[in-house]
Amino acid sequence: MASFLHSGPATSAMRKQATVIPLRISSAQSVASVQTYSRPQISLSSAFKTSLPTYQSRTFLTQLRHQAQALKEQTSTSSAHATQVKSSQNPNPTLKLDNLPYFVRRSASNKLPVYTDTKAGGTKKLTKIQKTEGDLDQLRNDLACALGVVDGHKPNPDVAINRLTGHIVVKGWRKPEIMKFLEDRRF
């Protein structure tokens, strides 16, 4: 079988198409006597030159990068305008979120890992925070303060830490309050 190698620049798609050889079998001939027809190399390369586009188009990822860059420019101009407006108003007291000693990772579907659980035949209701990292004691104390279940300076049994799994377990179904607590801290 003849092999087609192009001396000029050729893509892998062109090579794949160039190696395909049309076959023709007549009904009078047996399968063993197959006639092959090959085209000259010049006609293949000229056919590919005419079918290739002469311009270069952007890829999908390049278009996404440009869209993201345009969004950043829009948000930076709007945030600059927003900071001028906020500076004229009284600033609200906000949480210091620079260096929290703990972190809660989001799930694969980009949701907060807060789950409700029922045990003991439906009478014991729990809420769990999973995917916690860092100082779990500080997270428990901050969460207890936010939920209003503080017992002075000692740890409250309503908000417990499972040290083996790294989960924070809260008694009762408190999912909306815990979600708000985590969203306020921008997790």
Strand locations in the chain (E): 23-24, 35-36, 102-104, 114-119, 124-129, 132-134, 159-162, 167-171
What's the confidence (pLDDT) of residue 136? 94
Closest CA to 186 of 130, 105, 118, 121: 105
Give pLDDT tens digits along the chain (187 positions): 555 555 555 544 444 444 444 455 555 444 444 444 444 455 555 544 555 555 454 454 555 555 666 666 676 665 555 555 444 444 445 556 568 899 999 999 999 999 999 999 999 999 999 999 999 999 999 999 999 888 777 778 899 999 999 999 999 999 999 999 999 998 8
Angle at 8 between CA 7 and CA 14, to 5 degrees: 95
What's the confidence (pLDDT) of residue 30? 47
What's the confidence (pLDDT) of residue 133? 93
Give me the torsion for CA of 156, 172, 149, 129, rounded to 10°: 70
Do residues 113 and 104 lie in contact, with contact meaning Cβ atoms separated by under 8 Å? yes
**Residue 96 amino acid letter:** K
Q: Give me the residue spans of the domains in the chain.
A: 102-185
How would you class 175 by CB atoms within 10 Å of its CB: exposed for 0-12, middle for 13-18, buried for 19 or more? middle
- List 116's β-bridge partners, or say none: 127
Q: Which CATH superfamily is domain 102-185 in?
A: SUI1-like domain (3.30.780.10)
Grouping H, G, I as helix, E, B as strand and the rest as coil, residue 87 is helix
